[in-house]
């Protein structure tokens, strides 16, 4: 990971996360099923920092490290950039051995998606049916409110899509 880059004029690259060894607090993330689904990655979380415009940002982020070449993928916390399309695309199509494994995976995915956002985001009302998993994502920054309605489409014990809908604007993101 890069260390934060600020030149002599005080300029820096905006909207990028940087590694600061003084605050990083790197932790390995171990999940029974998620680690099998993302078998080519080791999962970590670390406190990263950066800037968005002139605003300083610091947050714990999920980091995926490819085991064969060490390449890193930083997953923004939900509070910063919503549900990560990049992360979800990595799990689409994985065929689970059983319904029980799929359920365990769903809760493990919720855990890692909340990395860096646990102070004001919470998944509730996870409901499983044969072809659909529905989940409510709540935000409690100022007051508790439903922030996103999530649907995960299932076919033959495999995830086919994830959609996230803003209940206020009806804006929908579909990841296939």
Per-residue pLDDT of the chain (176 residues; tens, 9 = 90+): 555 555 555 556 667 788 889 999 999 999 999 999 999 999 999 999 887 766 778 899 999 999 999 999 999 999 888 899 999 999 999 999 999 999 999 999 999 999 998 778 999 999 999 999 999 999 987 788 999 999 999 999 999 999 999 999 999 999 99
- CB burial of 22-32 (b: ≥16 within 10 Å; e: otherwise) equals eebeeeebebe
Q: Are 58 and 13 in contact (CB under 8 A)?
A: no
The helix (run of H) or strand (run of E) holding residue 89 is helix 85-91
SS3 content of the chain, % helix, strand, coil (to 5): 15, 45, 40
**Can you tell me the distance from the alpha carbon of 36 to that of 96, in angstroms, rounded to the nearest whole number?**
10
Cα distances (Å, whole numbers) of residue 167 to 71, 121, 126, 136, 148? 36, 15, 17, 10, 6
pLDDT score recorded for residue 18: 84
Measured distance between the N- and C-terminal CA atoms of the chain, rounded to whole angstroms: 29
In degrees, rounded to 5, the angle at the alpha carbon of residue 101 between the alpha carbons of residues 159 and 158 is 20
pLDDT of residue 143: 82
């Amino acid at each position: 990971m890069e260390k934060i880059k600020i030149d002599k004029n005080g300029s820096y690259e905006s909207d990028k996360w940087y590694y600061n060894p003084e605050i990083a607090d790197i932790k390995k993330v171990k999940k029974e099923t998620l680690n099998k689904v993302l078998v080519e990655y080791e999962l970590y979380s670390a406190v990263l920092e950066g800037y968005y415009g002139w605003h300083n940002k610091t947050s714990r982020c999920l980091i995926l490290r490819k085991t064969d070449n060490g390449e890193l993928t930083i997953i923004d916390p939900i509070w910063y950039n919503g549900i990560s399309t990049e992360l979800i695309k990595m799990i689409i199509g994985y065929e689970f051995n059983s319904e029980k494994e799929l359920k365990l995976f769903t809760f493990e995915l919720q855990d890692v998606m909340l990395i860096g956002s646990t102070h004001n985001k919470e998944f509730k009302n996870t409901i499983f049916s044969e072809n659909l998993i529905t989940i409510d994502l709540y935000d409690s920054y100022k007051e508790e409110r439903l922030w996103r309605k999530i649907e995960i489409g299932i076919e033959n014990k495999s995830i086919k899509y994830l959609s996230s809908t803003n209940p206020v604007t009806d804006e929908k993101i579909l990841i296939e």
